[in-house]
Structure 1
Amino acid sequence: MSALGTLWAKTNGLPMGKKIFSTLYSQKAPYFATIHATVTELRPNYAELQLPKRRSVQNHIGTVHAIALCNGAEMAMGALAEVTVPSDKRWIPKGMSIAYTAKADSDITVIAETDPEQWQNDGDLDVRVKAVTTAGTVCFEGVIKLWISSKKK
């Protein structure tokens, strides 16, 4: 199990465990801390987090800023990748293609998903990401492309 998976297993059942996990995970890439997100579900091929709508992530029209949504997608994707990547492989982000489909006018749930068979071969791997408002409206969807390669022996 990855270090992040072990941390999730240790903290998830504790009081405030998801918040503790999210705070510690945010230290891995400090820009994650700027969105104050909480990872609410994490397992191989799936990660979900809550991104609260607060002044620090809003744009000039009072909705959650596009880059805050991208940070949330990166945070969810990174957690998913860490607990999913086979131990003989490694990953690195290669690109992101996103569509903003509606106003992000509330707290946001960000979801990242893959399929198990995607991790079998080296090369490009598409992580599906989306952001959903509290009303259930998808306000952001797209793909984060990873490069998967075998570790040197």
Structure 2
Amino acid sequence: MKTLSAREYLGQLQELDTNINQDLERRDDMKINACSTGAIDYSAERVQTSPSGDSLCKAVTNYVAFNDEINAEIDRFSDAKEQIIKQIRGLHNARYSQVLFKVYVQFKSLKVASGEMGMSYQYVRNLHKKALTRFEETYDDLHYLT
């Protein structure tokens, strides 16, 4: 397995969150498509057609299967989030934990984090860099979570 930098490792949460949100949008589109029955043109001459299968049934089945995949993805995200939170807290440094939590768990920018922490942006930027270095020193086997 490839070893990641602390920034790459911790940044996986935001990537997972984005993927879940995209999948939720896709699921909503699937639901709309499954619920649209289409129109029947009664003015056209009727001809016998061969059964092409129940497209509604297939659409609903695909929707349910995709929804199950999303739920599994959400479970993996929750597990990864808990693991990262424990690792951040395992640094045993309140300021490091605070900045890493705000940036990588709450997905806040350093500028927003500095405002919430009541510290200058430059100080929080340096603190963030030191926290990432400490994270890499503490956890040497950083790899992809999923």
Give the TM-score normalised by the residue count of structure 1: 0.29
Give the TM-score normalised by the residue count of structure 2: 0.30
More strand per residue: 1 or 2? 1
Find the structure with the greater CA-based Rg.
2
More helix per residue: 1 or 2? 2
